[in-house]
C-alpha cells in the first residue's frame, strides 16, 4: 500500500491539473470585470478599425435585459425629430465612425459593489484621450453593461430613451 499511495496521489494531482486545462474549464472561473471590459473594448476597437460592427444579437448579449429592452424599443419606435449630427458608438461615444482610430487604454473600478461595479475606462479616439464610465452588473457568471456615461456628459440609456420617445 505504501508503494501505491505516492502513485495514487500523483494520479489525482495530474487529474486535477488536466481538468484545469480542459476546454471549458475557463468557464468555471468567471472573468474579472476589468478583463471582460478589456476584451469587449479591444474587440470593438478592432471592428471599428476594419469597418465592421457587432450583430444586433451580439450587441444585446453584452447589455443587461433592461438596457437591451430599451435599445430594442428605440429601434422599433424611433423619435422622428432627432437632430442630425455625429453618430454614437455605444462603447466609445460620439463621432466614432467605421474606420476611426480608437483604442482601449485602461480601466479601473471606481465605485459600486463586487456584483455591480462602476468602471472608469480610458480610451483613445482619433489620437485624443477620452473617458467613459461603465456601469456593469454580474449576471449568470458573466458581466452585462447597464449604462455607459460619455465624457461629453450624455449617457447611453438617456440617449436610447430619447430615441424611443420615453
* Placement of cell 473594448 in the chain: 41
Domains and CATH numbers, the chain: 32-163 (3.10.450)
**Phi, psi (deg, nearest 5) at residue 109:** -75, 125
Cα dihedral sign, 130-37-96-163: negative
How many angstroms separate the Cα of 161 from the Cα of each of 19, 110, 155? 46, 26, 10
What's the pLDDT tens digit per position in 1-19? Answer: 455 433 333 333 333 333 3
What is the pTM (predicted TM-score) of this model?
0.78
What's the pLDDT tens digit per position in 124-136? Answer: 999 999 999 999 9
Amino acid at each position: 500500500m505504501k508503494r501505491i499511495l505516492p502513485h495514487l496521489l500523483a494520479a489525482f494531482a495530474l487529474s486535477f491539473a488536466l481538468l484545469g486545462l480542459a476546454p471549458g474549464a475557463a468557464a468555471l472561473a468567471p472573468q474579472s470585470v476589468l478583463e471582460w471590459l478589456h476584451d469587449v473594448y479591444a474587440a470593438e476597437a478592432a471592428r471599428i478599425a476594419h469597418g465592421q460592427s457587432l450583430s444586433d444579437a451580439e450587441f444585446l448579449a453584452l447589455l443587461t435585459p433592461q438596457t437591451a429592452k430599451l435599445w430594442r424599443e428605440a429601434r422599433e419606435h424611433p423619435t422622428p425629430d432627432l437632430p442630425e449630427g455625429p453618430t454614437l458608438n455605444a462603447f466609445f461615444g460620439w463621432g466614432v465612425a467605421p474606420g476611426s482610430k480608437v483604442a482601449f487604454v485602461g480601466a479601473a473600478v471606481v465605485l459600486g459593489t463586487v456584483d455591480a461595479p462602476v468602471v472608469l475606462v480610458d480610451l483613445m479616439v482619433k489620437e485624443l484621450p477620452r473617458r467613459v464610465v461603465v456601469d456593469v452588473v454580474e449576471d449568470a457568471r458573466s458581466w452585462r453593461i447597464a449604462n455607459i456615461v460619455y465624457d461629453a456628459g450624455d449617457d447611453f440609456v438617456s440617449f436610447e430613451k430619447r430615441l424611443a420617445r420615453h
